[in-house]
Amino acid sequence: MSLTSEHLHAAAQQYGTPLYVYDATELDAALARIRAAFGTARVYYAMKANPNLTLLRRLHAQGVGFECVSPGELARAQHIGAAGERIIVNGPAKTPGEYALGARLGATFILDREDEVALLPPSSRALVRVNPALNISTHDHLATGAAHSKFGVTLEQAPRVLAALRAAGHTALGLHVHIGSAIRDARDFTAAFGRLTELRGQTGPLGVLDAGGGWGLGADLHGIAREAHATAATFGAQLWVEPGRYLVAQAGTLLTRVIGTKRTGRNFTLVDAGMTELLRPMLYGAQHPVTPLWHREGTGTWDLAGPACESGDLLARDVTLPAPQAGDLLAIGEAGAYGAAMSSNYLTRARPAEVLHENGTWTVIRRRETPQDIWQAEDAAG
Ligand SMILES: Cc1ncc(COP(=O)(O)O)c(C=O)c1O
């Protein structure tokens, strides 16, 4: 990350904590790495990773499309002016409103089950999501291409669904596969693409192979890209990809201040951010790099605990910290993906502000919520 400790201290001072900070340089660098690896592939950002409008607009201006998996995400795409070939509508249980708005915007649909063919608006363009039924080397909640996961149709069903699409007057554009998230072992992708090639000769002509996202930080992007392109080529199809985490994770950092410490059965450093600001450690056992932004004698090992009245509210275990004191500042790294996006108002905790750093300037891209923001909809109802 190009942001220094001084930058981070200044942001925390100016905007308060907990605070999400984003580095525009880092976001652009991640996109450049993806483009360098995947070349001609069309890039659709899986906005679930971070749907902040400023980030979406920045990516839109750079030619990126969007993968939307909810009515709200589709509304965001519409709001920033994305349309037509720049939008994919995905999800295992789309609502009538998503089909209607998707059609109005000229989006491409990803079919997740056979009976969706009958639900599509007339003359739609659609891909069929295939579940390759593999063991994926990631947390079970992050594996979407396992036989027991709810996503996609089976390899056996896929040719039938493509044929049904054509028979119903739609464009059967191609196949889609997305096997999970935070996957570092490129062999998982090779295995998934290998399953797809088993369908060669059974699909009719395909225009697109969408290889999804799921690349963990540090994954061999060039290796994955080579395999994905080779698979697309076996179908004579164009390659599309849907990165979420890889594109935005490293651009984001969560800043949190120490509230105090206590030594009981373990050593706890209590901080002002927790599961309501960053859920991933609790939800997936995710490990984020933690950097103390102070120097002091007396290094020890600490569990980083949030302020929620939940025993699972831990951001990290066994972190080495130099004698933490109230007011010290910590940077939780790789928090740009599924960080702010998964933050919640549980305990009527107002979600943090988000700020973007570019060319030496900070811009607030989401103001800090207030308790009134949270109960506003309830008051209106009353
Ligand atoms: C269909 C689909 N595409 C892309 C993504 C993005 O995954 P990641 O953020 O791991 O790249 C997801 C994430 O869940 C997804 O479900």
What does pLDDT average to over the chain? Answer: 95
Instruction: Answer whether 62's CB lies under 8 Å from 216's CB.
Output: no
From residue 322, alpha-carbon distances to 12, 247, 328 in Å are 20, 32, 10
What confidence tens digit (pLDDT) does each residue in 220-260 have? 999 999 999 999 999 999 999 999 999 999 999 999 999 99
Atom of ligand 1 nearest to the CA of 337: 9
What's residue 382's pLDDT? 61
Domains along the chain with CATH numbers: 5-21+249-372 (2.40.37.10), 25-248 (3.20.20.10)
Q: How far is the CA of 124 from the centre of ligand 1 (A)?
A: 23
Tell me which residue of 301, 314, 312 sits closest to 256, measured CA to CA. Answer: 314
Q: What is the 3-state secondary structure (H, E, C) of 56-102?
A: HHHHHHCCCEEEECCHHHHHHHHHCCCCHHHEEECCCCCCHHHHHHH
Catalytic residue check, 68 = no
Q: Classify the phi-psi angles of 218: left when phi > 0, otherwise alpha if psi is within -120 to 50, otherwise beta.
A: left
What is the C-alpha to C-alpha distance for residues 363 and 332, in angstroms, rounded to an integer? 20
CA terminus-to-terminus distance, the chain: 47
Asked if 178 and 243 count as a contact pair (C-beta separation under 8 A), the reply is no
Distance CA 278, CA 263 (A): 24
Q: Say whether pLDDT at 359 is over 70.
A: yes
**At which residue do the structure tokens 């119903």 appear?**
168
CA dihedral 85→90→95→97, nearest 10 degrees, is -20
pLDDT band of residue 301 (cuts 50, 70, 90) is very high
> Cα(97) to centroid of ligand 1, in Å?
22
Determine the average pLDDT of the residues in 7-16.
98
Percent of the chain with pLDDT over 70: 99
Confidence of residue 353 (pLDDT cuts 50, 70, 90): very high
| DSSP one-letter string for 245-302 | HHHHGGGEEEEEEEEEEEESSSEEEEES--TTT--HHHHH-----EEE----S-EEEE
Three-state secondary-structure class, residue 229:
helix
Q: Give CA–CA dist 109/111, Å, rounded.
A: 6
Check: CB of residue 127 under 8 Å from CB of residue 107: no
Is the pLDDT assigned to residue 138 strictly greater than 90?
no
Write down the catalytic residue from 61, 118, 309, 380: 309
Q: For residues 322 and 293, what is the distance between their CA atoms, to the nearest angstrom? A: 10
For ligand 1, atom 3, which residue shows the shortest CA distance? 212
**Ligand 1 closest atom vs CA 49:** 9
| Confidence check: pLDDT of 1 > 70 | no
